[in-house]
Structures are given as C-alpha cells and as structure tokens.
Amino acid sequence: MNHQQQSILLDSAARFPPPQGVKFSYGTSGFRAEASILESTVYRVGILAALRSIKTQAVIGLMITASHNHVSDNGVKIADPGGEMLSQQWEPFADSLANASDPEHLLQLILEFVKKENIQFEGGKGAEVLLGRDTRPSGESLLEAAKQGIRSIVGAVAVDMGVVTTPQLHWMVRATNKGEKASEHDYFDQLISSFRCLLDLIPQGAQSSNKEKMIVDAANGVGGLKLEVIKKSIHGLNFEVRNTGKEGVLNDGVGADFVQKEKVTPYGFSTADVGMRCASLDGDADRLVYFTVLPNSSGKIELVDGDKILSLFALFIKEQLSILEEANNKKVNNSYEAHLGVVQTAYANGASTDYLKQAGLEVVLTPTGVKYLHEKAADFDIGVYFEANGHGTILFSSNFLSWLDVRVNELGSTAKGSEQLKAALRLLAVSKLINQAVGDALSGLFLVEAILQHMGWSIHKWNELYNDLPSRQLKVKVVDRTAVVTANAETEVVSPPGIQEAINVLTAKYPRGRCFIRPSGTEDVVRVYAEASRQQAADDLASSVAKLTDQFLGSH
C-alpha cells in the first residue's frame, strides 16, 4: 500500500469518527446498532468490502439492513463471492476495524492485515462492491458512508443496486460472479419462470385446495414492495399483500419474527381471516413463516414455522429423487446416487427431527447460526437447512446440477413425457427458484406454494405432518458467559465440569424430555432450551435447569 493510498485513507477516516464508549461485534448478522451511531462502522465496512474484493478478485456485496430489528436500528453486512456470509476468518478483522479508536490506529490495522493476507493492489482486478439497502429512513445516509469507505481504496468501484431485499443483493453478487445476468429484473424473471415451470409439472389429477387467496404480511418492509412487482407478472397464485409499509411501522407488531415468537396475528389480520393460508416475511425478507388464524381465539394463531417448511421441501425433493432412482435401479446409463441431507440446530423442535428421520432422511446438527448451517449443507449433493425462525434455503452441488442437465437432455430425447424427466425438470426448477446464496422469504414463499399445489395439500394438511413438542426458552444472567463451553452442536456442556451430568438427571424425569444450555453470542446470558411431552413439564424442566445454571455459574 503506497503513501498516496495511506494518505487518502487517513483523510477520509477523519471524517467518520467512531462513537465513544461503544464496542461493536460482527456476528452472523453483521454489525447492528441504533442507526445514529453506525456511520463510522459502515464507512469502515466499506473499506473491508473493497479489500475483500481485491483479495478474492471477485465482486463483493454490502447490505445495509437490520432485518427484523426496530426501525430506529440499522446494520451492515458483507456478502462473499458466492453470495454467502463473509468468511469467518475475516470477522475478527471486521471487529478490529469497527472498534479502531482513531484514523492512525485504523490505518495501522489495515496495513498489518494487508501484509498478513498478502493483498496485492497492483496487477489484479480492481475492487467492485454491490451496495443495497432496505426501506429504513437511515439507510440513505449510511449508504453514502459505505460509498466513502469503498472509494477510499484507490480504484474501487461502488455499484448502488438501490432498495432491495437482503436476499436479492446476495443473489446479485452470486450471479455476477458466475457471469450471469444479475439485475433485479433478472431475479424476478428467474423466480417467476421457475415457479411457472413447477406449476406446469404438477401431476394430472392433483386436487389442490390452495386455489383460495393467500394473504402475506410483509412486515411494512422491502418485501412488500417486491411482492407487488411480482404480482403483476405471476400467474397460478392468488395472493394479497398486507402491511406493505404505506401506513404501518417496519417490524412493529408485524413480520415473521413477531409472529414466530408471539404466536399471535400481526397487525391488519382479524377473525375475517380465520382458516386462511397466511404467511409472514420479516423486514428485509430473509425469513418466512406461515400461519392460520384460529377461531374465537383473540388473535391466537396456528404457527407453521421453519421446521415445517424444511420438512415440506425435504419430502418433495426426496420424492423426486426416488422417481429418478427407480430409473437407476433399472440399470440405465448415467445413473447418479444423490446424497440428500437435512441440517438443523439443536433449537429445531425434537418432533421435527424425529419426523424427518422416520421419513428416511439424513439429519445432522450444527451449532446455532446460519453460517454453520450453510457450510454443512454444502457438504451434500442437496442440502436443506432451516431454522425454526424461518431462515433457510436449499443448496445444490455443481456436480449434481451438471448431471441433472445431462439427464434432462437424455430423457428429453429418449423418454419424453416420462415421470423421470418430470422429476429431473422439477429438481432443476427448484434449484433456480430457491435462492442458493442465502435464506430468501420471496423464493421460499413461491416454492412452498408450488409444492403445496403439487401435493394437493391445504395448509392444515401440511401442518399435520407432526405435532410440535411443547418447549420453553429462558435465559440466565451470568458474570461470564464464556465459562460455558459446549460440544456436539451445542447439545452438551463440557465446562464447567459436572453441569451436564446434573442436566441429564433433571431431563430424565420428564417424558420426551430434552434440554441444553449454551452461551449467548451477544449478551452476558446463558440460554436454556427445554422440551417435554406437556407444556407444564417443559416449563418446569427449563426452570429447573435455569436454577442449576445459576448455581454453577453465579448470577450477574
């Protein structure tokens, strides 16, 4: 890094002094805080994004959003070349940049990191960063700070993609780096055409009970804007969008996070919607849950969460693979035994895990966090992951997709109209409809709707796949959460010694009991999760383990 570049960095950094007494931490969701204190952090993430682009010799994404947080908050996160989250190896550098006390300290950190990572400024492709923001009022000024950070690296280009959903920006980064068309129009076109393809491949005689209107709660966020655009071009689905942001407040009494946690109707829904198929997005449209309004229930709902969405997707894919494998068993040429896997965290309801295993699916657990789920799902030919909160997607390996393309061509010439060809075409359509970069409420919504029509299922039939076990989550304030060390995807405590054995003794007292504790990633608390066959038992187990945790660790 030459002296001119260093001078530019020092001058521009001086215009973005950090807030005093605030410590920032980059997690799965990037940096999030009250919007008024974020300008310097977003500027510095702009620098990081430009350096990441030079290092990877690829286009990087920078999204300004705080997802399901309150409208007064905002945040910033990076999309890596494949559209996935920022590499975990760069997270400590992100933390250091955000918390650097002054321009000189900031420059020193950058110089040390550039040397350590061997980032070459000469002879390679210049940095290019795609920028996006959600509908928050603070987004525009923070976007300018990001641009200043990116442009402080000589030759770096910032491309403003406008107001987009978080998953759209991730998709655009992935498509750009694959050399594909990557505009918002291209995103809409791929979603609509692949949805249409799945509807065209619905078996004859499938009695869909989903012809009635579906209602979508758009959380007064960016997803509502995009659904209104899609609605003009999509056929085969009758839906109404509510909470579009024209009147209500972003994420206030609306959205997937509110619906999933509170299990009540979002604002704008009433007894007039009893029994109807309803869906909720979150503020930046990367989470999706479904629900039905219960009769005479003062706003209570029947929730269909991310675990049920995962189950629906996994069953459909397994069915298509089974059809293809029938042909494999007949010793056809070019057979391929695809490895399908389902990835969950310990927070997935035990009933869902049991159901998936009984359905013959391979289930693996990872620590909590989308980055861990995504990484594990990539180990399979087809990896499906979802969290109960409604964030998840399906990953297809390039090897499997290449084989599928060849298989479709073969079947198209030798077995036109066959069930094997239809199954292969459905899987290809799913790979295009689902956003393989990141969880995407819009693509997930249309995939759910296509599969329900394929199966001929109502939301009630779908929800009857299994009954969730009653559960309870608590948190215990502690002096030092790092004293809790876990293993086996956070389901067992290895330190402090003795606590896991005590948890096991308590859990054994309850039918279908399951309980684990884990340190929070953001607060000085230990989180407790418990399940049992009855709600009172789950409550009692959670309470008992919370007291036990307090005894071992000492309250705050």
pLDDT reported for residue 332:
54
Q: Does 522 show up as a binding residue in the annotation?
A: yes
67 is catalytic: yes
Distance CA 402, CA 410 (A): 13
Number of domains in the chain: 4
Structure token pair of residue 147: 């641009």
Among candidate residues 304, 330, 350, the one where a domain is terminated: 304
C-alpha count within 13 angstroms, C-beta hemisphere, residue 209: 9
Q: Is the pLDDT of residue 489 over 80?
A: yes
Choose one of 236, 269, 304: the last residue of a domain. 304
Looking up residue 296, the CATH number of its domain turns out to be 3.40.120.10
The residue to which tokens 């994404």 are assigned = 61
Average pLDDT over the chain reads 94
For every residue of 153-215, which 3-state class applies, written as one string? CCCCEEEEEEECCHHHHHHHHHHHHCCCCCCHHHHHHHHHHHHHHHHHCCCCCCCCCCCCCEE
Owning domain of residue 527 = 471-553
357 & 275 share domain: no
Does residue 169 lie in a domain region? no
Who contacts 422 (Cβ-Cβ below 8 Å, separation ≥6)? 201, 323
Helix (H, G, I), strand (E, B) or coil at 486: strand
For residue 327, being part of any structural domain is answered with: yes
pLDDT score, position 18:
96
Tell me the pLDDT band of 327, cut-offs 50, 70 and 90.
low
Whether 527 has a binding-site annotation, put simply, is yes
Q: Please check whether residues 278 and 371 belong to one and the same domain.
A: no
80 annotated to bind ligand: no
Output the pLDDT for position 372.
93
pLDDT at 209 over 60: no
CATH number of the domain that 320 lies in? Answer: 3.40.120
In a domain, 187, yes or no: no
Q: Does residue 173 belong to any structural domain of this protein?
A: no
Q: Give mean pLDDT, residues 440-449.
A: 98
SS3 308: helix
Cα–Cα distances in angstroms (integers) from residue 342 to residues 311, 331, 356, 377, 435, in the given order: 9, 28, 8, 7, 17
Q: What is the pLDDT of residues 230-274, one digit of tens each?
A: 999 999 999 999 999 998 999 999 999 999 999 999 999 999 999
Q: Are residues 365 and 448 in the same domain?
A: yes
Quick one: 312 and 300 in the same domain?
no
Domain contains 192: no
Whether pLDDT at 21 is above 70:
yes
Q: For residue 330, give the DSSP letter.
A: T
Q: Is residue 545 part of a domain?
A: yes
pLDDT band per the 50, 70, 90 thresholds, residue 296: confident
- 389 appears as a binding residue in the annotation: yes
Whether residues 12 and 149 share a domain: the answer is yes
- Orientation of helix 3-13 relative to helix 139-151, angle to 10°: 160
Same domain, yes or no: 300 and 311: no
The pLDDT value recorded for residue 297 is 74
| Residues 338, 246 share a domain | no
Choice between 211 and 486, residue whose per-residue pLDDT is larger:
486
> Average of pLDDT values for 89-112?
97
Looking at the structure, tell me whether residues 436 and 319 fall in a common domain.
Answer: yes
29 versus 534: the higher-pLDDT residue is 534
Residues 394 and 524 in one domain: no
* Structure confidence at residue 556 as a pLDDT band (50, 70, 90): very low
pLDDT on residue 92: 96
- Answer yes or no: do 17 and 134 share one domain: yes
- What's the mean pLDDT in 66-74? 95
- Whether 141 and 215 map to the same domain: the answer is no
Tell me which of 12, 29, 40, 67 is the catalytic residue.
67
Q: Give dist(CA 478, CA 25) in Å, integer.
A: 19
Instruction: Give me the mean pLDDT over the 60-81 stretch.
Output: 97
Q: Does position 31 have pLDDT exceeding 90, yes or no?
A: yes
Q: Do 452 and 479 fall within a single domain?
A: no
**Domain assignment present for 168:** no
What pLDDT score does 208 carry?
A: 57
Neighbours of 362 (CB within 10 A): 13
Model pLDDT, residue 334: 65
Find out whether 282 is annotated in a ligand binding site. yes
Among 104, 138, 163, the domain boundary falls at 163
Residue 194 counted as domain residue: no
pLDDT tens-digit map of 372-385 = 999 999 999 999 99
